[in-house]
Each structure stands twice: as structure tokens, then as C-alpha cells.
Amino acid sequence: MASKAAAALSCALLVVAAAGYYTPPSPGACGLKVGYYHDRCPQAEAIVKRVVGDAVRRNPGVGAGLIRMLFHDCFVEGCDASVLLDPTPANPQPEKLGAPNNPSLRGFEVIDAAKAALERACPGVVSCADIVAFAARDASSSLGGGRGVDFDMPAGRLDGRVSVASRTLDFLPPPTFNLSELVGSFAAKGLGVEDMVVLSGAHTVGRSHCSSFVPDRLAAPSDISPSLAASLRGQCPASPSSGNDPTVVQDAVTPDTLDNQYYKNVLARRVLFTSDAALLTSPATARMVSDNANIPGWWEDRFKKAMVKMASVEVKTGRNQGEVRRNCRAVN
């Protein structure tokens, strides 16, 4: 029992003292394993896959939202579904109302549908945190278009009880970050430079609000491609506001396909964010961009591993750390 308690504690608190950065143990060291629900809810992963697949077929943008949801959940309080909690009188400002999430984060209704189906099949067994991780994997597979973005996702996470909007600003890197800021943000979660470059490739799907890039990329000097800048000026107001903030695709070439086109766009300087362009500002990361753009299968293989690694950040596995929520939007 003591060893299990120590393992659970290490998953939440392991720190490399010299660097001051949290370092995620392997999924196995955290009590996560592939096939975790095999005995208690054999159809769990199939149920989530069906719900996600149906949703992505109806609207590919939801798939991009589900991939982003895992990232936004794991970087704040760890991978514990804290991003799903709705406001309450006791907690009027949860994570989903934080500026990085509201109004841009999408896919909550898909998680609700998967949870409802799972509660009918095996009540009180599958955590919302595992649903978020499965959904991101299944969205990656659905958007991959048969290009090899299929992978196993270990499970066994519990749901957290803490969700604070201001924490999103503390840990989620904004699109204005330069390279050193990006590296530090990912390092604080135990993720390396290559993890950062590889996970940035998810920007090959989804949409962005104009306010995320207009001030830095269109209203100020930047290296953005003149033709892309002209196109974006035709789609975005010069001064986006809450009442006038349209969205544009992040990858105009293959907007609904999870592939390595993002890196080709980076090399062509046809990307939206300062943080995207920043990947070319060091020889090491520029080489990673080039490899991901030009070597078939290179990015897909690394993306699968990076997603599993990210989904192990600060997970809660001890019963004193979390719970299995009955409703993903509220603590029990």
C-alpha cells in the first residue's frame, strides 16, 4: 500500500530540483495502463471512439477542439478534467471561463455525450479525465485520414476538484510567445523542446479567432508571407473586438486533416501565430521543422508519443487526489 501511495504522490509532485521543472514519470509509473477498463467496462474505449467519430464526421472542427482540450486540460492542474467544470456559486470562475478557453475551446458537448453513454453502460467507472484523453486520441485518428495517427492511450486518471480561471493564464502559452518562452512553458510540465515542436503540429487543424494574431502579425512588422497577410486582412477586422472577432482556418492547405502540412506552412512563413513563426528562430528547432515537413511519417510517429507523454502530466490516481465524476461538469 505504501508503494502505491508513493507512486501516486510522485505523479503529482515529482520535481527536478536543479531545473525547478515538474517531470512526468512514465504512464506506467503513474498507475496508467493501456486497457485499464478491460475488466470493469470492456466497451469504454469503443464507446468514446464511436461518439467522437460521429461528432468529427459531422464537424471536423470539433475534432481539432478535442485535441486542443487535452492540451488545455493537462497544462492546468494536470490531466484531471478540471477544464470541464462549470461555474457554481462557490466557484464562479473555473478554467473554462479563462481567457485562453473562453469562447474558443470546443467539444464539451462531445465529452458530455460520451460520459452519458458510459454511465449507461457502466455507471461510476470511467473518469472524465480518461474520456478527454481518449477523445483527443480518437479525434487525432479521425482527422488523420488513414495517415497513421492511431495510437494506444493509457488510462487510469481520476478527476480533479480544483478549477480556477486565473491558472489558465499562468500555464497556457499564448500565441504571442517567443521560442524561449515556449520552451520554458513546456519544460515546466516536463515536456522537452521536441515535444513542443511536435505538439505545435496540431495547428494543422482547427480555426483561430482573429484577435489571437492580428495585433502581433498584421498590425506590426512580422515575417508573415505577404500573400497570407493580405488574405487575413480580408477576413479579419483591423481591431477585433468581442463583438467582431471572426475565425479563420489555421492551415489553409489541408484545414481538416491532421498531417505535417503545418511544418511546410512554417517554412513558407504561412502561419498565424508568433509562436508558430518562433520555431524557425533557432537552428535546432528549425531542423525539427524541416524534418517534420520533409520526412514521410516522421511527424506522425513523434506526435503519437508526445500526446501520450502530455496526457501523463500531473495525473491524479490516488483516491485522496481525485474522484470519478458522475457528471463531467460538476464535482460529486
3-state SS string for the chain: CHHHHHHHHHHHHCEECCCCEECCCCCHHHCCECCCCCCCCCCHHHHHHHHHHHHHHHCHHHHHHHHHHHHHHHCCCCCCCHHHCCCCCCCCCCHHHCCCCCCCCCCHHHHHHHHHHHHHHCCCCCCHHHHHHHHHHHHHHHHHCCCCCCCCCCECCCECCCCCHHHHHHHCCCCCCCHHHHHHHHHCCCCCHHHHHHHHHHHHCCEEEHHHCHHHHHCCCCCCCHHHHHHHHHHCCCCCECCECCEEECCCCCCCCCCCHHHHHHHCCCCCCHHHHHHHCCHHHHHHHHHHHHCCCHHHHHHHHHHHHHCCCCCCCCCCCCECCCECCECC
Does the annotation list 76 as a binding residue?
yes
User: How many Å apart are CA 265 and CA 178, to the nearest integer?
Assistant: 18
Strand partners, 323: 159
Residue 231 lies in a domain: no
Residue 201 lies in a domain: yes
Residue 195 lies in a domain: yes
Maximum alpha-carbon separation in the chain: 62
Residue 224 lies in a domain: no
- Write down the pLDDT at residue 174: 96
Question: Looking up cell 482547427, which residue turns up?
Answer: 206
**Domain range enclosing 290:** 43-206+250-311
Domains in the chain, number: 1
- Write down the pLDDT at residue 300: 96
Residue 7 banded pLDDT, cuts 50, 70, 90: very low
Residue type, 123: P
Residue 164 lies in a domain: yes
The single residue of 11, 44, 64, 72 carrying the catalytic annotation is: 72
Does the annotation list 222 as a binding residue?
no
Residue 30 banded pLDDT, cuts 50, 70, 90: confident
User: pTM (2 decimals)?
Assistant: 0.93
Residue 55 lies in a domain: yes
- Is the per-residue pLDDT at 255 higher than 60? yes
310 and 304 in contact (C-beta within 8 Å)? no
Is 72 a known active-site residue? Answer: yes
Does the annotation list 73 as a binding residue?
yes
Residue 19 lies in a domain: no
Residue 286 banded pLDDT, cuts 50, 70, 90: very high
Question: Looking up cell 470511467, which residue turns up?
Answer: 126
- Is the per-residue pLDDT at 9 higher than 70? no
Residue 244 lies in a domain: no
Does the annotation list 149 as a binding residue?
no
Residue 24 banded pLDDT, cuts 50, 70, 90: low
Does the annotation list 254 as a binding residue?
yes
163 and 85 in contact (C-beta within 8 Å)? yes
Does the annotation list 251 as a binding residue?
yes
115 and 327 in contact (C-beta within 8 Å)? yes
- The percentage of residues in the chain with a pLDDT greater than 90, rounded to a whole number, is 86
CATH number of the domain that residue 160 is part of = 1.10.520.10
